[in-house]
């Protein structure tokens, strides 16, 4: 879901036999060299935070462009929000252990931030690295950290809890499992290599130590970079192009809609955002019984290319008033794409950055599969909530999905050099 010629080199066996941290004449470790070398790199603007690297010096093994891509940890907004969709993701929620409070939480966020900085640079962890990602580069790895509503009561920081973090209202389509919802702390991990993502997952879990325990964990995936002939909007497990109208960093109002302003409230959330996380099961057996035409009527877009049923290409503005020869709306009044349009919801907008998931087959043969829906906004009461309320009242897609888990997390701005994520909250 996203959007190399190789010179003669030493054999993999020879490379593996070298010391893991052998340094070059410039004092760069071999592992660091492997984590930064490559012929190409992804370069985003300040909003994205990804940086490319120059080609490796003679004698070093260059990484492919996928392995070479690196995202900076010390950025204005935490990584993992504006980057392109990653091929592999892990979502985790933690609860602080009994007796753990503000002091333990600060130490944990300090450890997590140091680990994130190291791994995102293609370096090993500070202690006890498992070597799972030893041969790989950063692979666009990102780690993102947030705080749940319950965190503030457990740490004596209730006065710092944002109003925007108030619990989400109940929706008629909810079938929520409370054991897989919410949590004191939230971690999002994404990478374009599954082993790199797992390496980070294991490191985060180990760093938690006795301070926090895992409440729930979910695994997701997207299409791998380079799997299509050219970059294109992702498809979900229903086969639909998904994400056409996502806000873009180039939009003039992007920051206002997605990020808390620098002088916003509370002050520790400056440049941060709010993440709504929903595990949405797709009832694929029912969906796949629909004809192609019926599926397109439910969504309001062509399945082949994502273009609106009113005509044009994927990016053509949808004509909500267009009718067919019999006078019926070409885009049905309850089509999912019509209902979710910002101009149909008072301008409500959110940046969707999901992962698909598949957790096996039920005893009745139905796949437990769907979407790990993640959306970002400056205020969920003006972003997610009004859109979901409208979907609740008559979305044609509702009979084919089920919301099974939910969480809302306050994600502070990025950590400056020498700081850790959430420091302004925990030491303010």
Instruction: Provide the annotated active-site residues.
Output: 242
Q: Are 323 and 329 in contact (CB under 8 A)?
A: yes
Tokens of 198: 């797992």
Closest CA to 296 of 326, 318, 327: 318
Rg (CA), the chain: 22
- Write the DSSP assignment of 110-164 as a string of letters: HHHHHHHHHHHTTPPPSS----TTTT---TT-EEEEEEEHHHHHHTT-GGG--GG
Q: What angle do CA 237, 241, 242 make, to 5 degrees?
A: 80
Q: Indicate the DSSP class of residue 342.
A: G
Burial 209-225 (b: 16+ CB within 10 A, else e): eebbeebbebbbbbbbb
Residue 376 dihedral angles phi and psi, to the nearest 5°: -115, 140
Q: Are 243 and 235 in contact (CB under 8 A)?
A: no
Q: How far is CA 132 from CA 61, 114, 199, 320, in A?
A: 19, 18, 6, 51
């Amino acid at each position: 879901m996203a959007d190399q010629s190789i010179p003669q080199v030493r054999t993999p066996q020879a490379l593996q036999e070298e010391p893991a941290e052998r340094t070059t004449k410039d004092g760069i470790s071999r592992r660091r060299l492997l984590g930064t070398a490559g012929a190409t790199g992804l370069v985003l603007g300040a909003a994205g935070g990804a940086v490319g690297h120059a080609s490796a010096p003679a004698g070093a093994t260059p990484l492919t462009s996928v392995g070479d891509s690196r995202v900076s940890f010390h950025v204005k907004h935490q990584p993992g929000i504006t980057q392109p969709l990653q091929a592999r993701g892990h979502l985790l929620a933690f609860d602080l252990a009994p007796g753990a409070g503000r002091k333990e939480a600060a130490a944990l966020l300090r450890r997590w931030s140091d680990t994130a900085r190291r791994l995102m640079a293609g370096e090993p962890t500070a202690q006890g690295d498992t070597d799972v990602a030893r041969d790989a580069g950063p692979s666009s790895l990102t780690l993102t950290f947030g705080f749940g509503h319950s965190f503030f009561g457990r740490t004596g920081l209730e006065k710092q809890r944002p109003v925007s973090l108030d619990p989400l209202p109940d929706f008629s389509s909810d079938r929520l499992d409370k054991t897989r919802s919410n949590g004191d702390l939230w971690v999002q991990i994404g990478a374009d290599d599954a082993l790199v993502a797992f390496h980070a997952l294991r490191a985060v879990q180990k760093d938690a130590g006795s301070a926090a325990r895992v409440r729930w964990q979910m695994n997701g995936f997207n299409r791998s970079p380079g799997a299509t002939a050219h970059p294109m909007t992702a498809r979900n497990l229903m086969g639909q192009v998904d994400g056409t109208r996502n806000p873009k960093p180039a939009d003039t109002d992007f920051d206002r809609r997605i990020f808390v302003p620098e002088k916003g409230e509370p002050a520790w959330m400056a440049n941060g955002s709010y993440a709504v996380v929903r595990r949405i099961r797709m009832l694929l057996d029912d969906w796949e019984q629909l004809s192609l035409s019926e599926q397109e009527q439910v969504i309001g877009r062509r399945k082949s290319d994502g273009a609106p049923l009113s005509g044009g290409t994927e990016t053509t503005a949808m004509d909500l008033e267009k009718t067919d020869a019999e006078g019926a709306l070409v885009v049905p009044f309850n089509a999912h794409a019509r209902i979710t349009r910002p101009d149909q919801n008072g301008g409500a907008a959110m940046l969707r950055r999901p992962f698909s998931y598949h957790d096996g087959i039920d005893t009745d043969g139905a796949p437990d599969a769907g979407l790990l829906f993640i959306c970002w906004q400056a205020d969920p009461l003006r972003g997610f909530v009004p859109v979901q309320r409208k979907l609740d009242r008559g979305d044609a897609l509702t009979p084919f999905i089920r919301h099974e888990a939910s969480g809302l997390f306050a994600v502070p701005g990025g950590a400056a050099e020498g700081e850790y994520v959430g420091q302004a909250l925990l030491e303010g």
